[in-house]
Amino acid sequence: MPSIPAISLVQLPPGSMASWEHEELTILLCNENGEIRAIEGLCPHARGPLAQGNFLDGLVICPWHAWEFDTASGQCTHNPRAALAVYPTEVRDGIIHVQIPESRA
């Protein structure tokens, strides 16, 4: 699984989130108390831009109709059939790397 450099860790302080584009993918990067998470960045309801929502207690809230997603699991909190893809991350030399499946890299 290719590990793609995304953004600098200093651009994502604890409690913040940022949108990152790779090829046709929009990925939401979140810093939950120092744990860097990467999930699909467009809401499965109507493709709302999650980076423009709110990030609170590990949950991202979609700006359009307020669906909530757990940024660790990608799972929607009220709809068990809705979930976001989750991508493994690692920080090397101060840069956040996101592991993108081979077919999407």
CB closer to ligand FES out of 8 and 79: 79
Shortest CB 84 distance to ligand FES, Å: 11
CA-CA distance, 77 to 80, in Å (whole number)? 7
Shortest CB 98 distance to ligand FES, Å: 22
Residues 6 or more apart in contact with residue 60 via CB below 8 angstroms? 17, 28, 30, 39, 50, 53, 54, 68, 69, 71
Residues forming contacts to ligand FES in the complex (CB under 6 A) are 43, 45-46, 48, 62, 64-65, 67
CB closer to ligand FES out of 45 and 104: 45
